[in-house]
């Protein structure tokens, strides 16, 4: 079996490391790629084709893990040449997923949940063809959500809505705790119900949110755009907080 990779960043690199089998060959291309990506690819034994079109034509499974902004173009430009499964792992809105479904033959929409460079992220997949990806369980936990294209993208948005809103609330509450010289005690009493690692996880979440507040705000706007029939009072408040 041939698995083609479009994009060789953190996601693809980890999949390449996890999916090790004599029966599976990975292929990719240097076409228009940065020196950083080319260096990463050269450190592996992946077969390199001249073009992504060639990668697409030869792949039984073609994985797109590039960036949210390029996902649709990648599907339109290369995905259309793939007769196998097209697995999109980009963090894109369900609307983009539906557009991609119109450009490729056998779309599976996927979400990698969990720390990307860990040994045990979980791959969630949606779409009729996701049954054909169950063999991946040998290498990475692979859970089918449903036959409906878009369900993985919707779940990603809902997860993002929860985690980002919670981060905004944590930022607000811990700021007030600090002003009152009660920051340690604040985390300590929350850890009683939220678990021993609550402090470390919260601080990591707060720092990550503050360091990437522009991207996080864009993602919250994406949630508000997609679920425009919903009230989303909490998400809108989180956006207001992040924009401050």
Ligand X SMILES: NC(=O)c1ccc[n+]([C@@H]2O[C@H](COP(=O)([O-])OP(=O)(O)OC[C@H]3O[C@@H](n4cnc5c(N)ncnc54)[C@H](OP(=O)(O)O)[C@@H]3O)[C@@H](O)[C@H]2O)c1
Q: By CB under 6 A, name the binding residues for ligand X.
A: 6-12, 33-34, 36-37, 65-68, 70, 74, 89-91, 112, 116
The residue (of 90 and 217) whose beta carbon lies closer to ligand X is 90
The residue (of 186 and 219) whose beta carbon lies closer to ligand X is 219
Q: How far apart are the first and last CA of the chain?
A: 50
Distance of closest approach, residue 39 Cβ to ligand X, in angstroms = 10
- Of 168, 200, 194, 174, the residue nearest 186 (C-alpha): 174
The residue (of 62 and 235) whose beta carbon lies closer to ligand X is 62
3-state secondary structure of 195: coil
The residue (of 66 and 97) whose beta carbon lies closer to ligand X is 66
Distance of closest approach, residue 184 Cβ to ligand X, in angstroms = 30
The residue (of 117 and 230) whose beta carbon lies closer to ligand X is 117
Distance of closest approach, residue 73 Cβ to ligand X, in angstroms = 6
Separation CA 30–CA 33 (nearest Å): 5
Give residue number: closest CB to ligand X.
9
3-state secondary structure of 114: coil
Separation CA 205–CA 170 (nearest Å): 9
Distance of closest approach, residue 231 Cβ to ligand X, in angstroms = 27
HSE toward the beta carbon, residue 33, CA cutoff 13 A: 23
What is the torsional sign of CA 34, 32, 52, 148? Answer: positive
Distance of closest approach, residue 180 Cβ to ligand X, in angstroms = 35
The residue (of 68 and 128) whose beta carbon lies closer to ligand X is 68
The side-by-side arrangement of strands in the sheet containing 47-49 is 47-49, 25-29, 2-6, 61-64, 85-88, 106-113, 122-126, 142-146
Distance of closest approach, residue 95 Cβ to ligand X, in angstroms = 15
Separation CA 53–CA 75 (nearest Å): 11
3-state secondary structure of 161: helix
Distance of closest approach, residue 91 Cβ to ligand X, in angstroms = 3
Size of the chain in residues:
244
- Of 73, 137, 140, 124, the residue nearest 100 (C-alpha): 73
The residue (of 4 and 7) whose beta carbon lies closer to ligand X is 7
């Amino acid at each position: 079996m041939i698995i083609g990779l479009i994009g060789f960043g953190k996601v693809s690199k980890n999949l390449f490391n996890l999916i090790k089998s004599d029966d599976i060959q990975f292929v990719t291309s240097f076409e228009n790629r940065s020196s950083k990506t080319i260096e990463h690819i050269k450190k592996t034994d992946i077969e390199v084709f001249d073009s992504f079109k060639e990668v697409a034509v030869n792949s039984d499974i073609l994985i797109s893990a590039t960036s949210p902004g390029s996902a649709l173009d990648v599907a339109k430009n290369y995905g259309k040449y793939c007769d196998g499964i097209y697995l999109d792992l980009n963090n894109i809105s369900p609307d983009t997923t539906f557009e991609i479904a119109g450009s490729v033959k056998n779309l599976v929409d996927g979400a990698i949940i969990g720390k990307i460079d860990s040994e045990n992220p979980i791959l969630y997949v949606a779409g009729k063809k996701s049954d054909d990806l169950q063999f991946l369980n040998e290498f990475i936990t692979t859970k089918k959500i449903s036959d409906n294209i878009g369900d993985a993208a919707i779940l990603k948005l809902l997860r993002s809505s929860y985690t980002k809103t919670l981060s905004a609330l944590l930022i607000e509450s811990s700021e007030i705790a600090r002003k009152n010289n009660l920051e340690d005690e604040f985390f300590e009493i929350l850890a009683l119900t939220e678990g021993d690692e609550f402090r470390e996880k919260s601080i990591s979440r707060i720092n990550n949110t503050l360091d990437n507040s522009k991207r996080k705000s864009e993602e919250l706007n994406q949630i508000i755009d997609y679920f425009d029939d919903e009230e989303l009072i909490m998400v809108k408040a989180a956006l207001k907080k992040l924009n401050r």
